[in-house]
A and B are shown apart, each in its own frame.
Chain A
Amino acid sequence: QKEVEQNSGPLSVPEGAIASLNCTYSDRVSQSFFWYRQYSGKSPELIMSIYSNGDKEDGRFTAQLNKASQYVSLLIRDSQPSDSATYLCAANFGNEKLTFGTGTRLTIIP
Chain B
Amino acid sequence: DTGVSQDPRHKITKRGQNVTFRCDPISEHNRLYWYRQTLGQGPEFLTYFQNEAQLEKSRLLSDRFSAERPKGSFSTLEIQRTEQGDSAMYLCASSLGWGREAFFGQGTRLTVV
Contacts and interface: CB of A to CB of B under 8 A. Distances in A.
B56 A96 contact: yes
B40 interface: yes
B56 A44 contact: no
Nearest to A88: B42
Contacts of A82: none
Interface size class of B (residues with CB under 8 A): 20 to 34
Contacts of A92: 99
Contacts of A34: 101-102
Given A43-B107, A46-B103, A49-B101, A102 B45 contact: no
Contacts of A43: 89, 91, 104-107
Nearest to A51: B99
Contacts of A45: 104
B65 to A, nearest CB: 16
Contacts of A60: none
A102 B101 contact: no
Given A96-B31, A96-B56, A103 B42 contact: yes
B41 A98 contact: no
A44 B45 contact: no
Interface of B: 31, 33, 40-45, 48, 50, 55-56, 58, 89, 91, 98-107
